[in-house]
């Protein structure tokens, strides 16, 4: 490779640059720099250099290292722009140190576990404090009917409840049909396909109805709460409300909390009915169980199982609403923060719902309820 092709030549300790040191010639320049050693260079000459960009300056840095900064300051033949570019690249790269290569140790895993536990504990404290603040604000407004936000409450009930009816009904209908089909497949080996009706009824009344509905609303409504409040914080609308003497908790959080508290039990009941209807359809088409017979078996299920499922709904509604609103208030003021906290609210809501449902199932089973 000639001096012109590789873009440089060395003359009595002076590195003479020539031609174009740009991104388009990066490959050939990089290959031509293999024989260049930083210790052999005492000066820099750019009189034959035609063009230079950050790609070419970066190549010089990787070959010459920190000495590029001093060489550029005493260089000859460089234009003011070329010298400024080399100084900027050398100055920026000089502050970088190679990332240390460290081996993973068991103590690193313990450290991360400790960080996760501390983060979970801090989030629990924030949620508890936010719950107390919301309850105290709600009790303060209880005897002040003029400050009730009925329009906001109805609007949130429409958004959280009525608009969610189709997806809740469709999903639970399909899950009910799947549970009935799987139950019939297994119970057919024992000649007890009639008990498929009991399987669907018990599972949806106690667990599936409220659990599926809560998970759907955790992904649909909690994320909406976080995104709405987070966007308001980004655009400083929350600060504007406080400047006008309005309480964001009373104005924004309480209507959402009450709307979810009222609509989640109703959606849970719709989910139970849809799941039972899906099981009835499978029973009619695959098991030859007449609708009248199916309904008669469902009516024999004790009412307490339905009450257990509906009783979990208000607790799940409160937690989903509070987590969604709290994450919205924690947004720091950028679009990236809105996305991060929206994801966090969905994950936290689903995790809390499943965790509390498992604890409640174990407790109720031990109590014989």
CATH code, domain with 15: 3.30.750
Residue 93 has pLDDT above 90, yes or no: no
Residue 2 has pLDDT above 70, yes or no: no
- pTM comes to 0.68
DSSP letter at 25 equals G
C-alpha dihedral, 176 to 181 to 186 to 188, nearest 10°: 120
Question: Quick one: 148 and 70 in the same domain?
Answer: no
- In the numeric block, the tokens 């809501």 are attached to 349
Segment 30-43, tens digit of pLDDT? 777 776 777 778 88
Question: Quick one: 186 and 88 in the same domain?
Answer: no
Q: For the chain, how many structural domains are there in total?
A: 2
* pLDDT value of residue 100: 46
Question: Quick one: 49 and 172 in the same domain?
Answer: no
Residue 272 has pLDDT above 80, yes or no: yes
Q: For residue 38, is it within any domain?
A: yes
- Domain extent, residue 282, equals 123-367
Q: What is the DSSP string of 274-293?
A: HHHHHHHHHHHHHS---HHH
Question: Quick one: 346 and 245 in the same domain?
Answer: yes
* pLDDT value of residue 6: 61
Q: For residue 66, is it within any domain?
A: yes
In percent, how much of the chain has pLDDT > 90? Answer: 35
Segment 309-367, tens digit of pLDDT? 999 999 999 999 999 999 999 888 778 888 889 999 999 999 999 999 999 989 988 88
- Write b or e for each residue in 315-343: b if 16 or more Cβ atoms lie within 10 A of its Cβ, otherwise e: bbbbbbbbbbbbbbbbbeeeeeebebbbe
Higher pLDDT, 66 or 186: 186
Question: Quick one: 218 and 79 in the same domain?
Answer: no
* pLDDT value of residue 101: 42
* pLDDT value of residue 310: 92
Question: Quick one: 85 and 130 in the same domain?
Answer: no
Question: Quick one: 232 and 291 in the same domain?
Answer: yes
């Amino acid at each position: 490779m000639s001096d012109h092709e590789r873009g440089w030549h060395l003359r009595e300790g002076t590195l003479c640059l020539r031609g174009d040191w740009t991104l388009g010639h990066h490959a050939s320049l990089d290959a031509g720099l293999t024989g260049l050693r930083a210790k052999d260079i005492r000066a820099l000459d750019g009189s034959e250099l035609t063009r230079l960009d950050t790609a070419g300056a970066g190549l010089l840095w990787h070959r010459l290292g920190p000495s590029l900064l001093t060489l550029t300051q005493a260089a000859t033949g460089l234009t003011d722009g070329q010298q400024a570019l080399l100084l900027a690249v050398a100055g920026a790269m000089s502050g970088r140190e190679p990332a240390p290569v460290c081996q993973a140790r068991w103590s690193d895993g313990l450290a991360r576990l400790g960080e996760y536990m501390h983060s979970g504990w801090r989030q629990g404290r924030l949620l508890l404090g936010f719950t107390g603040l919301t309850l105290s604000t709600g009790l303060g407004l209880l005897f002040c009917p003029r400050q009730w936000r009925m329009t906001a409450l109805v609007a949130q009930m429409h958004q959280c409840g009525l608009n969610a009816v189709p997806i809740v009904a469709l999903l639970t209908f399909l899950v009910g049909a799947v549970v009935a089909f799987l139950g019939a497949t297994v119970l057919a080996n024992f000649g007890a396909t009639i008990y498929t009706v009991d399987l669907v009824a018990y599972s949806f009344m106690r667990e599936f109805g409220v659990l599926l509905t809560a998970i759907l609303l955790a992904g649909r409504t909690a994320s909406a709460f976080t995104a709405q409040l987070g966007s308001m914080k980004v655009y400083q609308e929350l600060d504007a409300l406080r400047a006008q003497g309005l309480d964001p908790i009373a104005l924004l959080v309480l209507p959402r909390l009450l709307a979810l508290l009222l609509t989640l039990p109703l959606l849970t009941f719709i989910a139970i009915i849809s799941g039972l209807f899906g099981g009835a359809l499978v029973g009619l088409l695959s098991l030859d169980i007449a609708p009248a017979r199916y309904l008669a078996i469902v009516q024999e299920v004790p009412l307490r199982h339905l009450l257990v499922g509906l009783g979990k709904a208000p607790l799940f509604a409160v937690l989903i609403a509070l987590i969604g609103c709290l994450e919205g208030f924690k947004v720091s003021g950028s679009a990236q923060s809105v996305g991060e906290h929206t994801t966090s609210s969905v994950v936290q809501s689903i995790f809390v719902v499943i965790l509390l449902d498992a604890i409640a199932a174990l407790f109720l089973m031990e109590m014989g309820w």
